[in-house]
Structure 1
C-alpha cells in the first residue's frame, strides 16, 4: 500500500528512502515488539522473530510485519493478502473481520498509524531519545529556517541531520524527500541512521498532514518553531481553524514537558494565539519591537539582507545573502534556536551569513542579460505575495510572473493567487504547475477569475512583441513555453519570477512524472537569448 499524500507533494513522485547503507539489519523478537502495543488484541503465535516492518505490501519480505494503514487515499487492509503472499508473519489491523491464517499473528489495534509509530520506535531502538530535536511548522518558511539552523549548527561544529521538503540528509548521506515529513517507519529508520553516524542534533520540518495523521508519533522536541499560518491545504483541512489546530499539536503534544521551548512568530495572528495559550517556555521573534528577537534597523537589496538585531544576549549585526525582507523572520527564528543550544553569537552570525541560497527559495538564476530571474517555491497566496513584494522593492523595471496551481489541491487559493499576481506584476503568465489528475485548463480558468476581478486585461501570447504599458495577463499552458515567453519579453532591469515549483525536478501530468526543473529551463532560455544577441 502506498503512503497517503502529504501537502503539495505527490505520493508517487519518489519512492521512500531505504537507508540500507546506513542502518544495520535488525531482528527483534515478536514479544518485544508487542510490548509497544499493550492494548492490542493479539491472535496467533507470539513467539518468533521479526526482521522488518512495512506499511507498503510491495516491500514485505519473509518474517516481516505488515501494518495496514487506513490512509487518506488508500486502505492498507486491501493489501493484506499481497503482504502474506510475500512472507509476512504478523499483520497489524484495525478491523476485526480480517482473517488470520495459521502461523500468522494478527494484531488488532484502534489506530494502525499510531501503532506503526510505536512499533517503529521500538524496532529501531528509540533513536530520538539520543538526539536533540528541533521541529519547524508553519505555512511558509520551514525549509529556509531549517537550512539556516543547519548552517549555524555546522558552523559550530555540531553534527546535524535535516528532514525536510528538499531532502533528508546527514553526514555524507542524502535521500530524496517524497513528502515533507516521512511516515513514522521511514522517520525512525532515518533517525537510527543518524545516531549510527554520530549525529547529535536533528532539524525537522513538520507538516500539518503529519501532525494530523500522527506520523511523528512518539517523538518529542527540544525546540519547536512556528513560522506563520496562512491559507493552504484546505483541500485536506477544509477550514483554517482545523489547519491551525493541526499545527498547534506540535507545541501541545510533542514539545518536551521538561526543557522544551516554543519559538514563535509573534507578528502572526496565529502565533499570537499560541503565545497566549501555551504554558511551555516561549521565545518570541518578529519584525515588531517588544519580543525576544527583533531587528532595530534593516536594509535589503538583491545582494541580501542586513540588520542590527536585538536578542536576549545583546545587540548584534546580522548579514545574509538571502533575498527578501520576509527572510528576516527565518533568520530570527534560526538565531533563537541556536541560542537555545548555547551556540556562541559569533558562530551564529557566521553560520547565517554563510548560507548563500536555499534550493528553489528566491533562488537567483545568474545571467549576462541584465535581467533579475528568480525561481521560488511560492505555491501559496501569502508566499507569492511575499516574493512579489520583495521584487518590487528592488529596481524600477517591470515584473513578469510565471505561475500555475497544483491539481488535486486547495482550489480556493487559485483565484487569490491570480489576484495577487495581477496586482503586483506588470505581466502574469498563467501556466501549468503539477496538474495531476485535473484538467490543466480548468485550473488556469480558476486562476483567471482572480485576475478578471481585479480588471487585469488579457492579451493573447501570440500578440505580444514586448511587455505591455499596463498590467496584463496571458495564458501559456505549457510551462516550458511560458518560461521562454517571460524571459523573451523581459528587458535589462526587468524582473522575472518563476513561481510554484522551486526545487522540484519533475512535473506531474495525469499519472506521469516527467523530468522538469524551472531553474534548468530558465538557464536554457537565458543562454539561448545570450547567444542570439551576441
Structure 2
C-alpha cells in the first residue's frame, strides 16, 4: 500500500484536511472504478464534473479525495486534498504511484496536426529493428515490444499512460514513443511525464470544435514545448511557418528538420513514385518504401529523433529504408490493375497532401476517384473545405459518410456539398452509404486507375448513433476489386 504524502510529491497543494499518512491501494478519477482504499480525484470535465461524484466515491470506499473545491460536507475519517488543477495532480500522482517509470526510460512525445502516428510508429519499428525493446502509444495501437494493446484515444488518460509505461519498463523497454494530441496536452494527460524530447510535425486546421480558435489550438501544441526541461530536446519542422513559435519559450535544446530551409536535419527529394521515395540526406542517396513529401518530413523527424537519442546515422538510415510505415497511412492495395489507397486523411491539409502526392506520381492517363466524408459532432467548418479539395484535385469525387456519430449523415453531406462549385458538380457524386460509395468507385474504375479512400484509415468501425459497426475500408475495397478481377 502506498502512502498519500509520497504520492503527492510535486503536486501543488492548496489545503488539506485529515491524515496525510493515509494509505491508498489505487487511484481513480471515475467513481464507478472506486474500491475500498482508493484515492478519488475529482476532475471537472466538459460533460460531467467529478466533484458531483465525491459522495458516491466515499460510499464505495474512497478514503482520500483530491479536488479543486472542497465539499461542504466533510466526512470524518476521510482525507481531503485541495489542489489548483485536479487533472495535473492526477498525472503527477499517477507517476509517483507507478514509480515514475518515465525517469527510467527515454520517452519522446510527438505532436502536430498530421504525421504523429506515422512518426511514432516508424520510431517504434526502427528501434525494435536496431535491437532495442521499445513501447508505443498511438492512435492505431499501443505496443509493449510487439505485444499489441488496443488503443481508444490518441493519448490515453494519465493513469493509463503511467500504468502502460510501468508495464513497458517491467518488460525491459528502454524507449517509448508516444503521440501527444492537443486535447491530451490541454487536459494534462501527459502531466508527470519526464520527457527526453518532443517533436513538432506541422499544424493546420483541426479540432476547432474543441479549441474554438486556431490560436488556442496553436497554444495547446506549444504547451508541450513550454514545459520541457533543460535536459530535453525540442525537434521542430522548420518549414512549417509556426515551427519557431512552438519553441519560443522552451528551456529544451532546439533542433530543426526540413526539406526547404536550412536545418540541422535536412533532405532533398530526388524521386517520388507510387513505389517509394529517394532522398538525398547529407550526400547519401537513400530509397524509402514510403511515398510523398509528407512522408519525407516524417522520415526526417524520425532520423533527427534517433540521432538526438544517440544513434548512429548509417545504422538508422539502413533500418529506416526498409520500414513500411503505419497501417491506414497511404496503404496501397492493387487488384485487377486498379490501385486503391486507404489513408487516414481527415483534415483539409492532410487530404490535400495525399492528393497532391498522388497527382505528382501519376503518369497522366489514369482516372483518380476520391471517396471522402467528414465526422459528425466535430468541426463543421472544415466540411466544405474537404469537399472542395477532393473535387478540385480529383477526376471524380464521391462524398459519403465517415463516422456520423449522433448527427444525420445527410446534414453532414449537405455541409460538404457547399464546397462544390457549379463547374465541379458533373464530376461529384453523393452516396450516403460508405460501402456503396466504395463499390461505385470500383465499378467506375478500369485498369490503371487510382481510388483514394480518405478519412478512416486504420479504423475498423463506423460509428452511427453511438453504436460502432464493423467497417474496414481496406477490407471493403479489397472485396469489390477482387469481384471485378473474377468477372
Specify if TM > 0.5.
Answer: yes
Secondary structure of 1:151's aligned partner:
helix
- 1:356 partnered with 2:293: no
* Residues 279 and 55 of structure 1, relative CA distance in 2, 3 Å threshold: closer
The answer to whether structure 1 residue 346 and structure 2 residue 314 are counterparts is yes
State the Cα deviation string for residues 29-56 of structure 1 (Å, max 9, x = none). 2333244546242224444421111112
> In 2, Cα distance between the equivalents of 1:528 and 1:122?
56
Q: Does 1:508 align with 2:463?
A: yes
Return the alpha-carbon distance in structure 1 between the equivalents of residues 57 and 384 of structure 2. 44
Q: CA deviation at 1:95?
A: 2.2
Determine whether 1:29 maps to 2:19. no
Q: Deviations over 1:330-360 (max 9, x none)?
A: 0011111111122122221122122123110
3-state DSSP of counterpart to 1:456: helix
Match of 2:302 in 1: 334
1:192-341 superposed matches below 5 A: 192-253=166-227, 255-258=228-231, 260-274=232-246, 278=250, 280-310=252-282, 315-341=283-309
Distance verdict in 2 for CA 1:197–1:376, change over 3 Å: same
Summarize deviations over 1:239-278 as a string: whole Å, max 9, x none: 111111111111111x2212x2221111111114346665
2:476 maps to 1:521: yes
Aligned length: 485
Distance 1:447 1:162, change over 3 A: same
Residue by residue, what CA displacement relative to the aligned partner does 1:467-490 show, whole Å, maximum 9, x if unpaired? xxxxx1111111111111111111
After TM superposition, the structure 1 stretch with the greater mean CA deviation from structure 2, 41-50 or 499-508, is: 41-50
2:485 aligned with 1:530: yes
Structure 1 residue 327 displacement after superposition = 0.5
Report the RMSD for the aligned CA atoms in angstroms. Answer: 1.8
CA distance in 2, matches of 1:411, 1:352: 38
CA offsets 1:413-449 (integer angstroms, 9 cap, x no match): 1111111001001111111111111111111111111
Equivalents in 2 of 1:107, 1:281: separation in Å? 36
SS of the aligned residue for 1:339 comes to: helix
Residue by residue, what CA displacement relative to the aligned partner does 1:186-207 show, whole Å, maximum 9, x if unpaired?
1111111111111111111111
- The Cα shift of 1:158 comes to 1.9
Alignment of 1:133 with 2:88, yes or no, is: no
Pairing 1:473–2:473 present = no
Match of 1:440 among 402, 409, 414: 409
- Alpha-carbon offset, residue 85 of structure 1: 3.4
C-alpha distance 234-286 of structure 1, shift in aligned 2 (>3 A) = same
> Is the 1:148–1:351 Cα contact (8 Å) retained in structure 2?
no
1:153-211: CA deviation from partner (whole Å, max 9, x where unpaired): 22222221111111111124321111111111111111111111111111111111111
* Cα 1:32–1:291 shift into 2, 3 Å: closer
- For the residue of structure 2 that corresponds to 1:88, the secondary structure is coil
Would you say the 8 A contact 2:345–2:351 is kept in 1? yes
Tell me if the contact between 1:30 and 1:47 (Cα under 8 Å) persists in the aligned partners.
Answer: yes
Task: Using structure 2 for the length normalisation, give the TM-score.
Answer: 0.95
Contact 2:12–2:89, Cα closer than 8 Å, also in 1: no
More displaced 10-residue stretch of structure 1: 54-63 or 178-187: 54-63
How far is the alpha carbon of 1:297 from its aligned partner?
4.5
> What TM-score, normalized by structure 1, do the two folds share?
0.87
